[in-house]
Amino acid sequence: MSDFYIKANRVFSPWRKYAWIFTLTVAIGGLWFPILGLLVIPVMVGLTTVAFVRGRFWCGNICPHGSLFDSLIYPFTGNRKIPKFFKSKTFGILFFTFFGVNLVRKFVKVSALWGTYMFWERLGFIFVASYLMVTVVGGVVSLLISARTWCNFCPMGTLQKISYKLGKITGLNKNTDVKITAASTDMCHTCGKCSRVCPMQLTPYLEFDENNQFSSENCIRCSTCVVNCPANILSLGNLKEAQDIMESTPITGYEHKKVFPATIQNIRSINDTTNEYVFKFEDDDIKYTSGQFILVKIQDIPEMYRAYSISGFDSENKTVTIDVKKAPNGYGTGIIFDTFKEGDKVTLQGPMGHELIVDKEAKEVVMVAGGIGITPFRAIVKDLVENESNIEKFTLVYGANYENEFMFDDEFKSFAEKSDKFDYVKVAAFDDNFKGPRGFVTDVLKEMNLNENKIYMCGPPPMTKAAEKMLLSMDVPTTDIAYESA
């Protein structure tokens, strides 16, 4: 089975990227110049103060050791599951007590030198030794287990939790405390990616409170989950911001979402890497609009689903069809391809999503697809061909690298034969033998007059981003561009 935890984009401010220089300066430079250790005093004051108002924000954004783990060690870490023992409260408290008692013992010893330069050197060396110990022990567990293993039992982390608790008890951090916030839990895909990329290996998606906030004291507010959430619903905000976002986020397209059981009726191979799955359901009340997607449960503990665009929906026979491309080392697709069999019971959630619901009042519509992003357009084009609308012309621009990668080609050709409103344009990037246009979808788009078009795109993020950039440069209003990244 593929790894659960994945290495993913992290948010690096210049400080977060290079603060490890401070760590090495104190931990190693301090062996020659012990006075450097005194720099740790403002660090301790800083982290305790920041924790009072913002929880463990320091750990995720300012801590020089955190920078060492994230910036230097992260590329080489084994990225394994952090043992429960290291995450336990008991171990954290015991380690904090041991560390604290040891530190006080050393302070008392050095205090005999009070009033001399030697006092400051010895005091500095106490901090240098601690910094070096954290660098070595933290570095080793970071490398062997996961980058932020140390942070689960770091005494400074425990100190921050105590300070944060005081802030909460006194109510003084009510407005300053920022937490991971979901714009709407209805829009969550329950995909678990926020957990899979979380350096502290937490599970925000399973623990949002009534204000859609994640209140774990171990959250280091690093925003890794924010930048990796495929539903783009996460942010870091205080309570007031959370309540405002909750109120102002429309849930259009998600209001009929429900969890329902289904049976795998049919599995068909489309090509070497893609399978089609047809699910049969019994529920009479599944409301679907073409362009929406569905969630397929892949495991119970922790609960996780994967999102797939609905490529076919038959309300009479009560079936929903999806096409799944096997991701290299993919966790979810590994489970789907290896364990899903015809006749198996599965749990689905949806239908949901609004980005690709076509505006049927538009004059013209352009659909842009890349790779597996073609799947929702099977259902959308079928709907536009078979049902009345005000749309006068709709075009599908479908990009692939080579001609043999175009999926459902016959299906789209037959739609083009059935409806003279529909134009089907294929573009291949690298195929010398391809008879149609060579290049990327952007090369086709830039030759089109798009003034009266609504544009719907689905494909890999580099494609949707490049196409959006080009459309904006062609003065297409943002309100006329919608996309989903597959």
Ligand X SMILES: Cc1cc2nc3c(=O)[nH]c(=O)nc-3n(C[C@H](O)[C@H](O)[C@H](O)COP(=O)(O)OP(=O)(O)OC[C@H]3O[C@@H](n4cnc5c(N)ncnc54)[C@H](O)[C@@H]3O)c2cc1C
Number of residues that this document lists for the chain? 486
User: What is residue 281's DSSP assignment?
Assistant: E
* Nearer to ligand SF4 (CB atom), residue 127 or residue 214: 214
Choose which of 88, 329, 414, 451 interacts with ligand X (CB under 6 A). 329
Q: Which stretch binds ligand SF4 (CB under 6 A): 17-25, 113-121, 198-206, 419-427?
A: 198-206
* Nearer to ligand SF4 (CB atom), residue 167 or residue 237: 237
Q: How far is the CB of 203 from ligand SF4 (least distance, A)?
A: 8
325 near ligand X (CB under 6 A): yes
Q: What are phi and psi of 117, to 5 degrees?
A: -65, -35
* Nearer to ligand X (CB atom), residue 304 or residue 366: 304
Distance CA(225)–CA(196), nearest Å, equals: 9
Which of ligand X, ligand SF4, none binds 219 (CB below 5-8 Å, type-dependent)? ligand SF4
Q: How crowded is residue 293: how many other Cβ atoms within 10 Å of its Cβ?
A: 25
Residue with tokens 């993913």: 8
Closest CA to 455 of 478, 421, 427, 485: 478
* Nearer to ligand X (CB atom), residue 76 or residue 107: 76
Q: Are 106 and 37 in contact (CB under 8 A)?
A: no
* Nearer to ligand X (CB atom), residue 126 or residue 396: 396
Q: How many residues bind ligand SF4 (CB under 6 A)?
A: 29
Distance CA(264)–CA(412), nearest Å, equals: 25
Q: How many residues bind ligand X (CB under 6 A)?
A: 26
Choose which of 54, 161, 306, 454 interacts with ligand X (CB under 6 A). 306
Q: Are 184 and 72 in contact (CB under 8 A)?
A: no
Q: Return the residue nearest ligand X (CB atom).
A: 330
Choose which of 307, 348, 358, 365 interacts with ligand X (CB under 6 A). 307
Residue with tokens 């795998």: 264
Distance CA(173)–CA(178), nearest Å, equals: 9
330 near ligand SF4 (CB under 6 A): no
What is the DSSP secondary-structure string of 249-272? ---TTTTT-EEEEEEEEEEEE-SS
Of residues 52-71, those binding ligand SF4 (CB under 6 A): 60
276 near ligand X (CB under 6 A): no
Which alpha helices (DSSP H) does 57-116 contain, by range? 57-61, 64-67, 84-87, 89-110
Q: How far is the CB of 190 from ligand SF4 (least distance, A)?
A: 5
Q: Are 370 and 470 in contact (CB under 8 A)?
A: no
Q: Which residues contact 178 (CB under 8 A, 6 or more apart)?
A: 54, 55, 57, 221, 236, 237, 238
Choose which of 195, 292, 375, 442 interacts with ligand X (CB under 6 A). 375
Q: Which stretch binds ligand SF4 (CB under 6 A): 43-51, 71-79, 231-239, 467-475?
A: 231-239
Q: Is 459 helix (H, G, I), strand (E, B) or coil?
A: strand
Here the tokens at position 41 are 């005093």
458 near ligand SF4 (CB under 6 A): no
Closest CA to 205 of 85, 3, 216, 292: 216
* Nearer to ligand SF4 (CB atom), residue 184 or residue 265: 184
Q: Which stretch binds ligand SF4 (CB under 6 A): 61-69, 98-106, 217-225, 367-375?
A: 217-225
* Nearer to ligand SF4 (CB atom), residue 134 or residue 188: 188
User: Looking at the DSSP assignment, which residues form a beta bridge with residue 324?
Assistant: 275
Q: How far is the CB of 310 from ligand X (least distance, A)?
A: 8
Q: How far is the CB of 232 from ligand SF4 (least distance, A)?
A: 8
327 near ligand X (CB under 6 A): yes
Choose which of 332, 350, 399, 459 interacts with ligand X (CB under 6 A). 332
User: Looking at the DSSP assignment, which residues form a beta bridge with residue 350?
Assistant: 258
Distance CA(151)–CA(138), nearest Å, equals: 8
Q: What's the Cα-to-Cα distance from 25 to each of 20, 30, 69, 123, rounded to whole Å? A: 8, 7, 15, 17
User: What is residue 65's DSSP assignment?
Assistant: H
Q: Which stretch binds ligand X (CB under 6 A): 95-103, 204-212, 322-330, 466-474?
A: 322-330
220 near ligand SF4 (CB under 6 A): yes
22 near ligand SF4 (CB under 6 A): no
* Nearer to ligand SF4 (CB atom), residue 180 or residue 365: 180
Euclidean distance between the first and final Cα of the chain, in Å? 22
Q: How far is the CB of 485 from ligand SF4 (least distance, A)?
A: 13
Choose which of 40, 51, 126, 234 interacts with ligand SF4 (CB under 6 A). 234
Give the CA dihedral 367, 371, 372, 378, nearest 10 degrees.
40
204 near ligand SF4 (CB under 6 A): yes
Choose which of 229, 262, 372, 441 interacts with ligand SF4 (CB under 6 A). 229
Which of ligand X, ligand SF4, none binds 36 (CB below 5-8 Å, type-dependent)? none
Q: What are phi and psi of 436, to 5 degrees?
A: -85, -165
Question: Contact residues for ligand SF4 (CB under 6 A)?
Answer: 60, 180, 182, 188-194, 198-200, 202, 204-205, 214, 219-225, 229-231, 233-234
